[in-house]
DNA sequence: ATTGTCCCCTGCCCGC
DNA sequence: TGCGGGCAGGGGACAA
C-alpha cells in the first residue's frame, strides 16, 4: 500500500478516533507479522492511554501515557480499521485486535504480513527508524540539503526517490507521479540533474503528496482509511497505471518499464 | 560503503 | 473452471 499520503491519512483517522482512549484488551491472532511481536507486547499495551499520534516516513508512532511508543508499518497490504464495537465476524487476516474501554476497536489486518507492529521505549532509536531521510513536509526539505545528495548518489532518480535514506515517504506511485510532474526521465542519473530541474522535482513531490493527502490517499486494491473508506487520488494519477494511455500533456502513449524490479510509468516525450 | 538479487506472503488477474 | 505464472503502495538480508 501505503506511501506517505496513505500513512498520513490512516494516522489522522486513528488520532481522531482513538486519542485519549484507554486500551482494555489486546488479542494477537498470531506470533508476529514481518517480525515476531516483542515480549510482553500485550501486557505493555493493556491499560494504557493513547496520547499522541505521529508519522515518520511510512511509519505511524503512537505514544502512550507511560511514554512507550507503538510503532506501526502497514507494509504492502496492511489496514488499520476502527470499529465502534467488536465485529461479529473476524477476517482471516485480522492479526491484532485492540479493544478500548469504551468498546471501540482497532483491528490490524494484513494479508501479506509485510507489516510491522512493535513497541519502542521513550527516545529509543529503533533500527527501522535510524536511517530515514528528509521528510518532504519538514523545513529540511530544501534544495540546499537535497542537491548535494543528488550529486553524491550514483543511482537513477527513480531509485533515489524510492530509497528512504535520502527522502522518506515516497514509494512507487508517487515517485512516478513526481517525476512526470517535474518532467524528469526516471532513468536519469541523479548527478546529471540541473539545479532548476531538482528544484522543480522538490516542488512536484510536495505538490503530489499534498494533493494525495487531500484525497485521502490512493486505493488500488488493499488500502483503506481507518474509517473503511477508500482514497480517491488514484483518479488523479497522471502516469501510474496508465500504460498505453495518452499523456495528459502531449497525448503520446505513456510507457511502462521496470527499474530495480519495480514498475515505472513515464512519458518518453515529456520527461527528459 | 554501496548496489543488485532474492526473499518474505497472499491474492488476483491473465492466458492456456 | 482449473492451474501456473506474473505482478502488486515495502523493505530487510545477504552477496559481491
What DSSP assignment string belongs to A52-102?
A: EEEEETTEEEEEETTS-EEEEE-TTTEEEEEESS--SS--TTEEEEEEETT
Task: Write out pLDDT tens, residues A131-140.
Answer: 999 999 999 9
A269 CA vs C11 C1’ separation (Å):
32
Average pLDDT estimate for A58-76 = 97
Task: Please give the pLDDT value at position A78.
Answer: 96
Per-residue pLDDT band for A1 (boundaries 50, 70, 90) equals low
Does the model's pTM come out above 0.75? yes
A243 CA vs C13 C1’ separation (Å):
33
Grid cell, residue A262, equals: 519495480
Task: Write out pLDDT tens, residues A166-215.
Answer: 999 999 999 999 999 999 999 999 999 999 999 999 999 999 999 999 99
Cβ atoms of A190 and A153 closer than 8 Å: yes
Task: Please give the pLDDT value at position A222.
Answer: 87
Phi, psi for A25 (deg, rounded to 5): -150, 135
Strand (E) or helix (H) holding A180: helix A172-181
Of A80, A56, A79, A63, residue with least CA distance to A8: A56
Phi, psi for A159 (deg, rounded to 5): -60, -40
Cβ atoms of A38 and A126 closer than 8 Å: no
Residue entry with cell 529503533: A126
Strand (E) or helix (H) holding A263: strand A262-266
Task: Report the percentage of chain A scoring pLDDT > 90.
Answer: 97
A154 CA vs B1 C1’ separation (Å):
13
Q: Please say if the pLDDT value at position A118 is more than 70.
A: yes
Task: Please give the pLDDT value at position A31.
Answer: 95
Residue A76 sits at the vertex; the CA angle it makes with A53 and A93, to the nearest 5 degrees, is 85
| Closest nt by CA–C1' to A1 | C9
| Closest nt by CA–C1' to A129 | C11
Per-residue pLDDT band for A154 (boundaries 50, 70, 90) equals confident
Is any atom of nucleic acid chain B found less than 7 Å from the CB of residue A149?
Answer: no
Residue closest to B12 C1′ by Cα: A221
Using DSSP, state whether A236 is helix, strand or coil. helix
In angstroms, rounded to a whole number, what is the distance separating the alpha carbons of residues A16 and A13?
5
| Closest nt by CA–C1' to A170 | C9
Is any atom of nucleic acid chain B found less than 7 Å from the CB of residue A262?
Answer: no
Cβ atoms of A174 and A212 closer than 8 Å: yes
Helices A172-181 and A195-214, packing angle to 10 deg: 130
A113 CA vs C12 C1’ separation (Å):
14
Task: Please give the pLDDT value at position A231.
Answer: 94
Residue closest to B3 C1′ by Cα: A155
Amino acid at each position: 500500500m501505503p506511501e506517505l499520503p496513505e500513512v498520513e491519512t490512516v494516522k489522522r483517522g486513528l488520532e481522531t478516533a482513538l486519542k485519549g482512549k484507554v486500551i482494555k484488551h489486546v488479542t494477537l491472532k498470531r506470533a508476529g507479522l514481518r517480525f515476531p511481536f516483542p515480549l510482553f507486547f500485550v501486557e505493555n499495551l493493556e491499560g494504557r492511554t493513547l496520547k499522541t499520534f505521529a508519522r515518520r516516513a511510512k511509519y505511524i508512532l503512537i505514544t502512550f501515557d507511560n511514554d512507550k511508543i507503538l510503532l506501526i508499518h502497514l507494509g504492502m497490504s496492511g489496514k488499520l480499521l476502527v470499529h465502534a464495537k467488536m465485529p461479529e465476524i473476524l477476517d482471516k487476516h485480522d492479526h491484532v485486535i485492540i479493544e478500548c474501554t469504551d468498546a471501540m476497536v482497532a483491528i490490524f489486518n494484513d494479508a501479506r504480513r509485510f507489516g510491522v507492529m512493535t513497541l519502542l521505549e521513550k527516545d529509543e532509536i529503533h533500527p527501522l527508524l535510524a536511517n530515514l531521510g528528509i521528510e518532504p513536509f519538514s523545513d529540511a526539505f530544501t534544495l540546499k540539503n537535497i542537491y548535494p545528495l543528488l550529486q553524491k548518489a550514483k543511482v537513477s532518480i527513480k531509485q533515489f526517490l524510492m530509497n528512504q535514506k535520502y527522502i522518506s515517504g515516497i514509494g512507487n506511485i508517487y515517485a512516478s507521479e513526481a517525476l512526470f510532474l517535474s518532467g524528469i526521465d526516471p532513468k536519469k542519473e541523479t548527478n546529471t540533474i540541473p539545479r532548476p530541474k531538482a528544484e522543480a522535482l522538490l516542488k512536484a513531490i510536495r505538490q503530489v503528496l499534498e494533493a494525495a493527502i487531500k484525497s485521502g490517499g490512493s486505493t488500488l486494491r488493499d488500502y483503506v482509511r481507518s474509517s473503511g473508506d477508500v482514497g480517491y487520488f488514484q483518479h488523479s494519477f497522471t502516469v501510474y497505471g496508465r500504460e498505453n494511455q495518452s499523456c495528459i500533456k502531449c497525448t503520446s502513449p505513456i510507457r511502462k518499464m521496470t527499474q530495480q524490479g519495480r514498475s515505472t510509468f513515464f512519458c518518453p516525450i515529456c520527461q527528459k
